[in-house]
Amino acid sequence: MKTFCIIWPIASYLAGSIPFGLIFAKIKGVDLTGHGSGNIGATNVARVMGKGMGLMTLLADFIKGLLPVLILRFLCGGDLSLSISLALTGFSAVLGHCYSVFLGFRGGKGVATSAGVFLGICPQALGVAAAAFLAVVKVTGFVSAGSLLAAVVLPVGIHFFCPSGQMEAMASAVAAIVWWKHRGNMARLLRGQERGWRKA
């Protein structure tokens, strides 16, 4: 069982690498990379194919972050290396989504998958980050701005609600990836050229 707990992050990476948005679009005969922003995440799917397909993608990307964490906690709950394995498992799921082995190490921006991971690790921290996300999107209309703030809030929430050096480091690493993947959005926000959700 200990060996399983150690190698489980590899399975988590592979699960995270499944490009559900791209798969759903191809089923409908749409090449998602050539439409909208070209991103494979739920926001672009919703813009290109409608909010129903966007919601399906959101849920699928969310679940591929949540399930690996829940499975590890269920099967390895008493293992001494759980904290490290759990941090690596969560990080690997996000890494897989953002740098999918099935897409030549390209991928989405990691927000929905990160939300699934942190629901399984620290629901309180996720709740605070989700509140920040919704508030910013409601006020500005920009999903990207909400995602950026939520990424910053998550490590802080982990520190206060689920203090653990490994988890705080993992949350910070996830936040760094989310910000890096949103660098184009940040540039457009600064130029006033970002496409808001209300215009989708």
Please report, for the chain, the start and end positions of each structural domain, with discontinuous segments joined by +. 2-199
Rounded CA Rg of the chain: 16
Residue 193 CA to residue 49 CA, distance in Å, equals 22
Residue 9 CA to residue 23 CA, distance in Å, equals 23
Percent of residues, the chain, with pLDDT higher than 70? 94
Residue 15 reports pLDDT greater than 80: yes
What pLDDT score was predicted for residue 37?
75
Contacts 24+ apart (CB under 8 A), 71-80: 71/8, 72/5, 72/8, 72/12, 73/120, 75/1, 75/4, 75/5, 76/1, 76/2, 76/4, 76/5, 76/8, 79/1, 79/2, 79/5
More confident residue, 192 or 68: 68
Kindly tell me the burial class for residue 104, based on how many C-beta atoms sit within 10 Å of its own C-beta (0-12, 13-18, 19 or more).
exposed
136 in Cβ contact with 142 (< 8 Å): yes
What pLDDT score was predicted for residue 199?
39
Percent of residues, the chain, with pLDDT higher than 90? 66
More confident residue, 81 or 58: 58
Contact partners, residue 64, CB within 8 Å, separation at least 6: 15, 16, 18, 20, 93, 96, 97, 113, 116
Per-residue pLDDT band for 81 (boundaries 50, 70, 90) equals low
110 in Cβ contact with 181 (< 8 Å): yes
Provide the residue type at 52 as one letter.
Answer: G
From residue 136, alpha-carbon distances to 19, 133, 139 in Å are: 27, 5, 5
180 in Cβ contact with 98 (< 8 Å): no
From residue 132, alpha-carbon distances to 102, 146, 151, 156, 196 in Å are: 32, 7, 10, 12, 17
